[in-house]
Structure 1
Amino acid sequence: MSKIALVTGGSRGIGAAISVALKNAGYTVAANYAGNDEAAAKFTAETGIKTYKWSVADYQACVDGIARVEADLGPVDVLVNNAGITRDAMFHRMTPEQWGEVINTN
């Protein structure tokens, strides 16, 4: 049985490349994403890697999301915390909400 890898932000960009590399290395991969359902569906269709939607900034969503992954695939052996966001503003010009989003996600 292959090891299970969970990649946050795993359906696009660098995260997608990590997910595919892990799959090619023999892992069963779960790719987390936060919002782009169309991109996630395309990623799954192209790679065969299952995607799971939740915000990594939300603790309970993480608990529930990991439970779904483990119910589907088994216990997670490898976690790649790849998810990240940016709010293009200098620190002193960020709103408290922007700052919170960046800190909670990254």
Structure 2
Amino acid sequence: MVLPRKDGLAVLDHLRHRANRPRILVLSARNQVSDRISVLNMGADDYLAKPFSFDELLARLRALSRRPKAAKLLFLSMGAMSIYPLTRLVDVAGATPPRF
């Protein structure tokens, strides 16, 4: 994948390693099966080769938006402290967790 300043595969790799990873739809002029397989194996959620129908692009974007997000981190723990990101609670040594 060719972009003006950065290779598309490098962008894909960067996005794949983010904590709040977005859904990724790759639009590319490369239409070889090996290209599609490589990009999907690297973490893309979908692949659409150019030229494409705008209606198909919209349908794929709607389909991606319906997919559930990956499982969220349930808690982090260090020593006697546990942090629960989903509920934004902190528990220290079994004390009643305060809300923040």
User: If you compute each CA radius of gyration, which structure gives the higher value, 1 or 2?
Assistant: 2
- The TM-score, its normalising length taken from structure 2, stands at 0.45
Using CA pairs under 8 Å that are at least 6 residues apart, name the structure with larger relative contact order, 1 or 2: 1
